[in-house]
Amino acid sequence: MKKRALVAALVFALPLASSPKSDKSFQKKLGKDEQILHALGRLTFGPRPGDVERLKKIGLKKWIDQQLHPEQIKENIALELQLLPLESLRMTPMETVQRYPPPQLIKAIADGKQPLPEDPVLRATVERLVARYKARKGEAPAGNGAELEPVHPLDEVLEPWELQTLRAGTPDKKRELLETMPPDKLEEMLVAMPRPQRQKLFDSAPTDVRRKILLLNAPQQVVAYDLLESKLLRAIESNRQLAEELDDFWFNHFNVFYEKGSDRFLIPEYERDAIRPNVLGKFRDLLEATAKSPAMLFYLDNFQSVRADVDANNKNRKVKRGLNENYGRELMELHTLGVNGGYTQQDVTEVARCFTGWTILEPRKGGGFFYNDKLHDKGEKVVLGHVIPAGGGMDDGEKVLDILATHPSTAHFISKELAQRFVADDPPNSLVEQMAQTFLATGGDIREVMKTMLDSKEFWSQGAYRAKLKTPFEMVASSVRALGADVTDAWALANQVGTLGEPLYRKPEPTGYSNLNSEWVNSAALLNRMNFGLQLAKNGVAGVKVDTRRFGNNPDAVAKTLMFRSASSQTRSAINKALRDQKQKTPGLVAGLVIGSPDFQRR
């Protein structure tokens, strides 16, 4: 009760959002120290202890140039080691389906059309899933028979003291046991455990053991685990911070939804091969990479889009296939021109016709992009006044991409979205126009567009300074970085991002998550962020350790340590008021209040 009162007192004592910046404020230049904090607030997921000093030593101009060329930055070795166990990130979709079998593959194995896998943990998983499938069909007894008996019972696999540790030990003791257990014994133990007992170990387990637990309990969830783990770890630990910011930006721009069927095993390849290599490249390359990605083809249904008359004479097909306009519409409205970009409904239809036959080879088995000429509309099309002659093939779609990637509306739309992410919700038109001109002059070179923005007076102005509110993803990552926390695994952090309103990879609409302040400003959201800040700073988030001894219990000093600047008078007053009735002002409590304060939410 006291905690809720404490949190509410602080939240409602502070304003939720700053007033909109005037045009004149974008002409006022930031001081040198403010420029350092501004760069770290916008081009990274927030400063860590020592970052301000490191940036000053390198020099702002040189540091920005490095961030614009991430391939020249040596990556954090500790991060690479943490990513190593996340195998699904490196697999093809076909390999992912086989390693983390969906229901269709389980059915094929149960029917004798596919062999059992050789890996012992995966084999045990599949045998259980097959048993459950047969039980549901009435071909095998339900209950314990559907789970199968292990080769060895648990008390034959483990020593009595090991059983006692797993049942009643502290999380650290459980983790230590799991980390030191020989691999063969570990696998035998997990196979011998009932599913609920395995699940109870999940929070205490290291990453490789968690993945084995998921593989036994729900194999397809391993892919989601790997995606979320890597997303948070990269945001927190990567030396290539601007590239990670842009990965988040472009994934939301070209959003796909994890929960839609086959996209569950298509997204790792999509982000790895379509998004990440192109975040600072040519927009035309990024556009084609997403257009041909099986994840996008499946998400927006273009893999099912065929010429209108393809089934006209097929009397055996009850449900006739036809043109699907989903991708054509979103390609123009969300990916390129923008909703007011000058296209019509007729253009949507014509674009959809151009992309007929762009499909997926065996979509439910993780196949790749495939152009099927038999399904393509060969007629003449007219897109935004450009005639695409009859008789074309896959190049019809590529011509559309050429038209859209070089269109002035696209240049303006992409430039404004980038400016909204990195400058302000309502960026000055003068800046957007400069960026759009660079876009057109360089053939859509994203790096050059970013340079134009970063060379502008508007970016380094009072109008841009702390004008943006962190999204839940940014808030969680920046909190961990500011606290200098040690992250052994990020699963719990990813769940916190979802709790705060931004479940990663799970935005159903093609718009992706917004970075506009209005999407994230409300009292309930701020209350949840405050609760998270307190939980994190007091070591209440699994997989994250914070050494609070370096903070002390002076709110002013703690605020300066965590925000790298003094807190506002309103924040200081509110924190002091919230602490007034507390008997013990612990460093964790004070740090949590700073992390949860509205001051910390701005970047």
What would the 3-class secondary structure string for 526-550 be? HHHHHHHHHHHHCCCCCCEECCHHH
**What is the rounded distance in angstroms from the CA atom of residue 14 to the CA atom of residue 500?**
19
Q: How confident is the model at residue 469 (pLDDT cuts 50, 70, 90)?
A: very high
| Residue 485: exposure state from Cβ atoms within 10 A (0-12, 13-18, ≥19) | buried
Q: How confident is the model at residue 139 (pLDDT cuts 50, 70, 90)?
A: low
Least confident range of 6-10, 56-60, 242-246:
6-10
Residue 114 phi, psi (nearest 5):
-135, 145
**Which pLDDT does position 143 carry in this prediction?**
45
Residue 77 confidence (pLDDT) above 90: yes
Q: Are 233 and 497 in contact (CB under 8 A)?
A: no
**Which pLDDT does position 111 carry in this prediction?**
81
Radius of gyration of the chain (CA): 27
Per residue in 30-41, pLDDT tens?
Answer: 999 999 999 999
**Which pLDDT does position 365 carry in this prediction?**
73
Residue 27 phi, psi (nearest 5):
-100, -10
Averaged pLDDT for residues 530-540? 94
Query: Closest Cα partner for 438 from 462, 463, 457, 456?
Result: 456
**Which pLDDT does position 571 carry in this prediction?**
83
pTM: 0.92
Per residue in 499-527, pLDDT tens?
Answer: 999 999 999 999 999 999 989 987 788 88
Q: Are 201 and 174 in contact (CB under 8 A)?
A: yes
Residue 8 confidence (pLDDT) above 50: yes
The percent of residues in the chain predicted with pLDDT above 90, rounded, is 68
**What is the rounded distance in angstroms from the CA atom of residue 94 to the CA atom of residue 90?**
12
Q: Output the six-digit token pair for 383.
A: 């897109």
**What is the rounded distance in angstroms from the CA atom of residue 368 to the CA atom of residue 262?**
12
DSSP result, 343-408: --HHHHHHHHHHTTTEEESSGGGT--EEE-GGGS--S-EEETTEEE-TT--THHHHHHHHHHHT-H
Count Cα atoms within 13 angstroms, Cβ side, for 597: 30
Query: Which residue would you say has higher pLDDT here, 383 or 112?
Result: 383
Q: Is residue 386 within a helix (H) or strand (E), and if so which, with residue range?
A: strand 386-388
Averaged pLDDT for residues 147-176? 84
Residue 142 confidence (pLDDT) above 50: no
Query: Which residue would you say has higher pLDDT here, 107 or 493?
Result: 493
Residue 13 confidence (pLDDT) above 60: no
**Which pLDDT does position 126 carry in this prediction?**
78
**Which pLDDT does position 318 carry in this prediction?**
66
**What is the rounded distance in angstroms from the CA atom of residue 591 to the CA atom of residue 603?**
18
**Which pLDDT does position 112 carry in this prediction?**
82
**What is the rounded distance in angstroms from the CA atom of residue 533 to the CA atom of residue 521?**
17
| Residue 100: exposure state from Cβ atoms within 10 A (0-12, 13-18, ≥19) | buried
Q: How far is the CA of 190 from the CAs of 169, 210, 488, in angstroms?
A: 17, 11, 21
**Which pLDDT does position 144 carry in this prediction?**
43
| Residue 314: exposure state from Cβ atoms within 10 A (0-12, 13-18, ≥19) | exposed
Phi-psi region of 256 (alpha: psi -120 to 50; beta: other; left: phi over 0): beta
Q: Which residue do the tokens 């195998």 mark?
A: 87
Per residue in 572-584, pLDDT tens?
Answer: 888 888 787 777 7
Residue 375 phi, psi (nearest 5):
-100, 0
Give me the residues paired with residue 358 across strands: 371
Query: Which residue would you say has higher pLDDT here, 368 or 105?
Result: 368
Residue 16 confidence (pLDDT) above 60: no
**Which pLDDT does position 22 carry in this prediction?**
66
Residue 345 confidence (pLDDT) above 80: yes
Mean pLDDT of the chain: 90
Classified as helix, coil or strand, 371 is strand
Taking the alpha carbons of 573, 578, 584, 588 in that order, is the dihedral positive or negative?
negative
**Which pLDDT does position 1 carry in this prediction?**
45
Q: Which segments of 355-406 does DSSP mark as H helices, in order? A: 395-405
Least confident range of 37-46, 95-104, 562-571:
95-104
Query: Which residue would you say has higher pLDDT here, 544 or 13?
Result: 544
Least confident range of 17-26, 51-60, 449-458:
17-26
Residue 226 confidence (pLDDT) above 80: yes
Q: Which residue do the tokens 């954090």 mark?
A: 76
The percent of residues in the chain predicted with pLDDT above 70, rounded, is 92
Q: Output the six-digit token pair for 153.
A: 């019972």
Averaged pLDDT for residues 441-450? 98
Taking the alpha carbons of 92, 96, 99, 101 in that order, is the dihedral positive or negative?
negative
Q: How far is the CA of 37 from the CAs of 54, 361, 393, 516, 563, in angstroms?
A: 12, 49, 52, 21, 9
CA dihedral of 126, 131, 137, 143, whole degrees rounded to 10: -140
Averaged pLDDT for residues 255-278? 96
The amino acid that residue 455 corresponds to is D
